[in-house]
């Protein structure tokens, strides 16, 4: 593609402006604009990152050197010219005026893509990164299954196509680019207001678009099977595995002009795709749809009477901390206070994790980053049953997508520390502890007399829905869920080992809970909650919910 202000001109202009800066000051400039120009091992000048005008005056104030500040001011118009004011030009051959305008419109929203235009790949490829990217997009859109996809799947696949090689290093084989491109895409797409689950799906699509290469190079059938189990776990959500297969195929077909690269690997591709689908189905037939109540933001919670109140406490420096506190009790109609219609205390069901220091809170926040693979041990609160006595008297309420619920059992299954996704795959999905994974799904199948295929279909219909909505749309499923929990032995955890344990992945923190009595046997009060949690609730617009004694 031809652009009005190409990357080589931009690189040369910037090199000329920064040529007299020392290394320390130069790094400040790169940090300010989000890109870097350097020389690789072969002596070639390369650019990494994405030039952007996103930093404000505060960032500039951090730089003390007046000359460095002057250099930054000189660079700003060039960055604007390369991103905001740039455009694709028709070339009279491949890019028509209409296509040039369409591509320019796309790059208005994704100016990061200007950094790949004209970027030369390893000699295996016939195309530069930009042409390869468009070829992959075209192959996906022309795929016979594309039009049958839902709008959300189409959007995920298109964005994954556009960003799948965005970090690719020039002139060389870059084995790390799927992971790096996925990570950058996750944060780039934040500006579009996509749901976190959508961005995570795109992250997984990009991260795993080289799955065929790894499976094809596996030394043994067992090694390939282990790889496929890992890929299946990462691509378990929604229609993600099929989208990954479409993206992988398009990527292979967009390496050589004559299609020879895909022809060389098409038989392996078909076999790996078949095996991947089988592994995904193995996961889906034991999926765990624990209904969870949608918790409104604190600002949406209506405070009146004794059931919901606004309280003010102070921190260690005497500063005020304001929280909205909900006290659950039998028969309470929660829809009066900002919850969805039909929500009462009796159908209040959430996943909670108890803890008591701010270091743990920071670690919990870090677990939700896309590249973290640790799992969290939590408890499922079925409030009507009374099983809300947790390991700590306070902690987080977490909203966990059903696909991220790895294991759920009616009591502590002693999984220990350092729970990782790989441990979950090896031990609980394909290993000796499989009974903990399939416990809930087996009960549902027995209760409703369902085959594996019928259960997978039901799961897709009820997953991520609260119990009051399942009762309305699929009353037989809601009845089965309630019946399972009513028959399940209640092992109330009051600082002992017995409790229901749910091993989960990434999810959103939606509230702070507290429960039980203090050391003097008095009912636990909001002011007894550690200061950092009260402040966290205030700063993140989270309600504080008292589950009971």
The predicted-structure confidence for 197-220, as pLDDT tens digits, reads as follows 999 999 999 999 999 989 999 889
Across the range 115-137, mean pLDDT stands at 88
Question: What order of strands is seen across the sheet that includes strand 501-504?
Answer: 308-314, 320-327, 544-548, 508-515, 394-399, 349-354, 376-382, 501-504, 405-409
Asked whether residue 477 carries a pLDDT value surpassing 80, the answer given is yes
Banded pLDDT at 470 (limits 50, 70, 90): very high
Contact 395, 355 (CB under 8 A): yes
Alpha-carbon distance of 297 to 295, in angstroms, equals 7
Higher-scoring residue by pLDDT: 108, 41: 108
* pLDDT value, residue 331: 94
Question: What are the residues whose beta carbons fall under 8 Å from the beta carbon of 423, sequence distance 6 or more?
Answer: 375, 415
Query: What are the pLDDT digits (tens) for 140-173?
Result: 999 999 999 999 999 999 999 999 999 998 877 7
Q: Specify the DSSP class assigned to residue 403.
A: G
Asked whether residue 235 carries a pLDDT value surpassing 90, the answer given is yes
* pLDDT value, residue 36: 94
**Cα–Cα distances in angstroms (integers) from residue 50 to residues 216, 337, 491, 547, in the given order:** 33, 46, 54, 47
Banded pLDDT at 417 (limits 50, 70, 90): low
Place of tokens 């034991």: 286
**Which of 397-406, 407-416, 482-491 has the least mean pLDDT?**
482-491
* pLDDT value, residue 415: 63
Asked whether residue 244 carries a pLDDT value surpassing 50, the answer given is yes
Strand intervals (E) in 250-347? 308-314, 320-327
Alpha-carbon distance of 411 to 393, in angstroms, equals 18
Higher-scoring residue by pLDDT: 528, 281: 281
Percent of the chain whose predicted confidence (pLDDT) is above 90: 69
Asked whether residue 343 carries a pLDDT value surpassing 50, the answer given is yes
Query: What are the pLDDT digits (tens) for 532-543?
Result: 999 999 999 999
* pLDDT value, residue 155: 96
Strand intervals (E) in 1-114? 2-3, 35-39, 45-49, 88-89
Query: What are the pLDDT digits (tens) for 174-187?
Result: 888 999 999 999 99
Chain center to CA of 23: 36
Alpha-carbon distance of 334 to 342, in angstroms, equals 8
Asked whether residue 491 carries a pLDDT value surpassing 60, the answer given is no
Asked whether residue 356 carries a pLDDT value surpassing 90, the answer given is no
Asked whether residue 299 carries a pLDDT value surpassing 70, the answer given is yes
Place of tokens 């709008």: 151
Q: How do the domains of the chain map onto residue ranges?
A: 1-87, 119-284, 298-441+463-468+490-548
Contact 115, 148 (CB under 8 A): no
Alpha-carbon distance of 164 to 208, in angstroms, equals 10
Contact 450, 458 (CB under 8 A): yes
Percent of the chain whose predicted confidence (pLDDT) is above 70: 96
Contact 49, 34 (CB under 8 A): yes
* pLDDT value, residue 498: 52
User: How many residues does this entry show for the chain?
Assistant: 549
Asked whether residue 497 carries a pLDDT value surpassing 50, the answer given is no
Count of helices and strands (H, E) across the chain: 20, 13
Query: What are the pLDDT digits (tens) for 7-66?
Result: 999 999 999 999 999 999 999 999 999 999 998 888 889 899 999 887 766 677 778 899
Torsion angle, alpha carbons of 469, 475, 477, 483, to 10:
110
Alpha-carbon distance of 397 to 379, in angstroms, equals 10
Q: What are phi and psi of 382, to 5 degrees?
A: -105, 90
Across the range 122-137, mean pLDDT stands at 88
Summary mean pLDDT of the chain: 91
Across the range 384-404, mean pLDDT stands at 86
Contact 116, 133 (CB under 8 A): yes
Alpha-carbon distance of 346 to 383, in angstroms, equals 6
Residues 286-311 as b or e (16 or more Cβ within 10 Å = b): bbbbbbbbebbebeebebeeebbeee
Contact 430, 229 (CB under 8 A): yes
* pLDDT value, residue 393: 86
Banded pLDDT at 492 (limits 50, 70, 90): very low
**Which of 331-340, 398-407, 467-476, 496-505 has the least mean pLDDT?**
496-505
């Amino acid at each position: 593609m031809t652009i009005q202000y190409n990357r080589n001109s931009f690189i040369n202009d910037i090199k000329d402006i920064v040529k007299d800066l020392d290394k320390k000051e130069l790094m400040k400039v790169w940090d300010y604009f989000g890109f870097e120009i350097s020389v690789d091992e072969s002596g070639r000048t390369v650019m990494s990152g994405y030039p952007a005008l996103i930093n404000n005056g505060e960032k500039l104030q951090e730089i003390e050197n007046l000359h460095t500040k002057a250099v930054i001011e000189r660079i700003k118009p060039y960055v604007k010219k390369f991103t905001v004011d740039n455009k694709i030009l028709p070339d009279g051959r491949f890019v028509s005026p209409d296509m040039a305008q369409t591509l320019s419109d796309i790059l208005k929203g994704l100016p990061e893509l200007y950094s790949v235009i004209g970027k030369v790949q390893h000699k295996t490829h016939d195309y530069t990164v930009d042409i390869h990217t468009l070829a992959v997009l075209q192959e996906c859109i022309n795929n016979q299954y594309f039009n049958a996809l839902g709008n959300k799947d189409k959007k995920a696949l298109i964005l994954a196509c556009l960003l799948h090689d965005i970090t690719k290093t020039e002139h060389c084989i870059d084995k790390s680019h799927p992971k790096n491109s996925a990570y950058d895409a996750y944060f780039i797409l934040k500006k579009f207001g996509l749901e976190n689950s959508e961005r995570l799906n795109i992250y997984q699509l990009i991260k795993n678009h080289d799955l065929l290469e790894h499976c094809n190079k596996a030394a043994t059938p067992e090694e390939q099977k282990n790889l496929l189990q890992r890929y299946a776990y990462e691509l378990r959500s929604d229609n993600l595995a099929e989208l990954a297969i479409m993206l992988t195929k398009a990527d292979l077909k967009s390496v050589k002009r004559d299609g020879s690269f895909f022809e060389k690997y098409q038989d392996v591709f078909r076999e790996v795709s078949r095996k991947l689908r089988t592994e995904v189905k193995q996961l889906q037939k034991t999926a765990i749809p624990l209904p969870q109540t949608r918790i409104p933001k604190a600002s949406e919670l209506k405070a009146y009477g004794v059931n919901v109140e606004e309280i003010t406490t102070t921190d260690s420096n005497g500063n005020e901390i304001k929280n909205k506190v909900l006290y659950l009790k039998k028969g309470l109609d929660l829809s009066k206070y900002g919850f969805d219609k039909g929500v009462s205390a009796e159908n209040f069901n959430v996943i909670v994790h108890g803890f008591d220091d701010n270091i743990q809170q920071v670690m919990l926040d870090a677990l939700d980053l896309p590249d973290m693979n640790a799992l969290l041990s939590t408890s499922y609160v079925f409030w009507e049953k009374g099983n809300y006595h947790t390991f700590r008297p306070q902690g987080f309420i977490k909203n966990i997508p059903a696909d991220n619920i790895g294991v759920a059992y009616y009591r502590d299954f002693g999984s220990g520390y350092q729970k990782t996704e790989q441990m979950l795959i090896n031990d609980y999905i394909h290993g000796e502890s499989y009974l903990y994974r399939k416990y809930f799904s087996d009960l549902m199948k027995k209760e409703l007399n369902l085959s594996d295929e019928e259960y997978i279909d039901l799961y897709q219909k009820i997953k991520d829905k609260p119990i009051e909505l399942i009762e309305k749309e699929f009353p037989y499923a809601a009845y089965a869920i309630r019946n399972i929990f009513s028959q399940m032995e209640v092992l109330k955890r009051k600082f002992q080992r017995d409790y229901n344990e749910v091993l989960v992945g990434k999810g959103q923190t939606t509230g702070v809970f507290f429960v039980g009595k203090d050391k003097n046997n008095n009912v636990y009060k909001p002011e007894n909650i550690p200061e950092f949690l009260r402040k966290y609730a205030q700063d993140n617009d989270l309600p504080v919910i008292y589950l009971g004694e």
